[in-house]
C-alpha cells in the first residue's frame, strides 16, 4: 500500500471514533445551531451538575471501566473506539437529568481489559447484557453514537425485550450510508485486513512514536477525514496500542459491511434519532430510512452541523439549551424534567 492509499483509509479512524470523544478545552464554531425552543426561566440559572463516579466492574467476558451518574431508570451508553470516560462527563451529566446513566470504555481500550478472544461487536452486545445483569437492570434504556450505532443496534437485536427506549446520535447503521468512493472503500478493506497482521501493527506503533511520522499522519487525517483542527489527534494517536488496533480493525470491517436483518414487524420501542443533515461522513436520509425499517415510533431531530464529530465536547449548558427540550419530550410524561 502506498502512502496515498493509506491516507484514504485514515479518515475511518475519525468515523470509528465516538460522536463525542474530544476534550472540552477545545473551541468550536457551530454554524447552523439545531432547532429548539428557549428553555423555561428556571434553566437560565446555573444548574447543579450531578456528580459522576467511576469504577471497575469484573464481568465474565472482561473488566469494564465505568462512569455512573443520576437516578431513575438505567441508561447504558454504548461508546465507540477512542472514547475515554473523561471525554463524556458532560453527556453523562446531561442524560442523568432523566436516567441513571452508565457509560463504559470499550474492552481493549482505556482501562477496560480486552476480551480473551478476538474483539467483535457480538461480544460487546453480550458484555452489555452481562453488565445489565450486574446492575440488576431487568429493563433498561440504550444509547449509541457514530460507530456505537452499530454496537447499539447489535445490542438491541439481542436484548430488545429488555430495552424500554433507544437513542441514536449520528449512528452508523448501514454500509450504504457511508459516504466514500469505491476506491476509498477498497483501500479501506485492505487496511482493515493489514491491521490484523503483526508486521503492519508494528509499523504503526513505530510511526506513532516518531514525531515527524505522527505529524504526517495527523495532517492526512485532518485533510482527508474532514476532521476539525481543534481535535487533539496527535494525543490520541500517540496513545493507540495493539488492543485499540484490534477494535479499529473490527470497526473498519463492520462499517464497510454492516447490514442488519429487518424484523418481520417493526419494533414499537420508542426511538430518538438526532443527526446533522450536513454530516460529511454518513448520509442522513439513508440512515433515517434504515431506522424506519426497524422502528415504528421515531422521534427525529434534524441538526445542521457541518461536521460528523464536533471539535470538542458540548458543555452541559449547551446540551441543555440545544437538546434538552426534545429529549424531555421523548420521555414518558411521568419521567419528564419540569425544568424544560
pLDDT reported for residue 303:
93
Quick count: other Cβ atoms within 10 Å of Cβ 28? 16
Nearest residue to 153 (alpha-carbon basis) of 124, 182, 130 = 124
Q: What is the pLDDT along the chain (340 residues), one digit of tens a residue?
A: 433 333 333 443 433 333 333 333 333 333 334 444 444 444 444 456 778 999 999 999 999 999 999 999 999 999 876 678 888 899 999 999 999 999 999 999 889 999 999 999 999 999 999 999 999 999 999 999 988 999 999 999 999 999 999 999 999 999 999 988 888 788 778 877 887 788 877 877 777 676 655 665 566 555 444 454 545 555 666 667 777 777 877 888 888 889 999 999 999 999 999 999 999 989 999 999 999 999 999 999 999 999 888 878 889 999 999 899 999 999 989 899 998 8
Query: Residue ranges of the alpha helices (H) in the chain?
Result: 3-16, 89-95, 121-134, 148-159, 182-194, 198-209, 211-224, 233-238, 242-257, 284-292, 316-330
Question: Taking a C-beta distance cutoff of 8 angstroms, is the pair 121, 254 a contact?
Answer: yes
pLDDT reported for residue 31:
38
* CA 267/CA 246 separation, integer angstroms: 32
pLDDT reported for residue 180:
83
pLDDT tens-digit series, residues 291-333: 999 999 999 999 999 988 887 888 999 999 989 999 999 998 9
- Residues sharing a CB contact under 8 Å with residue 77, sequence separation 6 or more, in sequence order: 88, 91, 92, 95, 101, 102, 103, 104, 143, 144, 145, 148
pTM of the predicted structure, to 2 decimals: 0.81
Domains of the chain, residue spans: 1-18+45-328
What CATH number was assigned to the domain covering residues 1-18+45-328? 3.40.50.1820
Cα angle value 256/220/258 (rounded, 5°): 10
Q: Is 336 exposed, middle or buried (0-12, 13-18, 19+ CB in 10 A)?
A: middle
pLDDT tens-digit series, residues 159-170: 999 999 999 999
Query: Residue ranges of the alpha helices (H) in 19-88?
Result: none
* CA 270/CA 135 separation, integer angstroms: 23
CA 291 to chain centre: 17
Question: Taking a C-beta distance cutoff of 8 angstroms, is the pair 128, 119 a contact?
Answer: no
Amino acid at each position: 500500500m502506498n502512502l496515498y492509499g493509506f491516507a484514504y483509509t485514515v479518515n475511518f479512524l475519525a468515523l470509528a471514533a465516538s460522536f463525542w470523544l474530544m476534550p472540552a478545552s477545545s473551541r468550536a464554531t457551530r454554524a447552523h445551531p439545531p432547532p429548539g425552543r428557549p428553555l423555561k426561566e428556571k434553566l437560565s440559572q446555573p444548574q447543579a451538575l450531578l456528580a459522576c463516579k467511576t469504577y471497575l466492574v469484573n464481568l465474565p467476558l472482561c473488566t469494564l471501566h465505568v462512569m455512573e451518574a443520576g437516578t431513575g431508570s438505567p441508561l447504558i451508553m454504548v461508546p465507540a473506539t477512542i472514547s475515554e470516560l473523561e471525554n463524556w462527563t458532560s453527556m453523562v451529566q446531561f442524560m442523568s437529568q432523566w436516567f441513571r446513566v452508565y457509560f463504559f470504555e470499550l474492552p481493549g481500550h482505556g482501562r477496560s481489559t480486552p476480551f480473551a478472544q478476538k474483539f467483535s461487536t457480538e461480544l460487546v452486545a453480550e458484555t452489555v447484557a452481562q453488565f445489565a445483569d450486574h446492575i440488576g437492570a431487568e429493563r433498561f434504556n440504550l444509547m449509541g453514537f457514530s460507530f456505537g450505532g452499530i454496537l447499539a443496534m447489535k445490542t438491541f437485536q439481542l436484548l430488545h425485550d429488555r430495552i424500554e427506549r433507544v437513542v441514536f446520535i449520528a449512528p452508523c447503521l448501514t454500509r450504504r450510508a457511508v459516504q466514500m468512493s469505491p476506491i476509498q472503500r477498497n483501500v479501506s478493506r485492505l487496511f482493515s485486513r493489514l491491521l490484523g497482521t503483526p508486521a503492519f501493527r508494528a509499523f504503526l506503533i513505530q510511526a506513532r512514536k516518531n514525531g515527524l511520522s505522527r505529524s504526517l499522519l495527523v495532517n492526512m487525517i485532518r485533510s482527508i477525514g474532514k476532521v476539525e483542527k481543534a481535535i487533539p489527534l496527535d494525543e490520541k494517536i500517540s496513545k493507540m496500542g495493539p488492543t485499540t488496533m484490534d477494535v479499529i480493525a473490527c470497526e473498519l470491517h463492520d462499517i464497510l459491511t454492516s447490514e442488519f436483518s429487518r424484523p418481520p414487524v417493526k419494533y414499537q420501542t420508542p426511538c430518538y434519532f438526532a443527526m446533522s443533515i450536513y454530516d460529511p461522513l454518513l448520509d442522513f436520509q439513508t440512515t433515517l430510512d434504515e431506522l424506519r425499517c426497524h422502528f415504528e415510533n421515531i422521534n427525529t431531530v434534524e441538526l445542521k452541523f457541518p461536521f460528523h464529530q464536533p471539535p470538542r465536547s458540548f458543555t452541559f449548558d449547551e446540551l441543555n439549551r440545544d437538546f434538552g427540550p426534545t429529549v424531555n419530550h421523548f420521555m414518558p410524561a411521568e419521567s419528564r424534567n419540569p425544568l424544560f
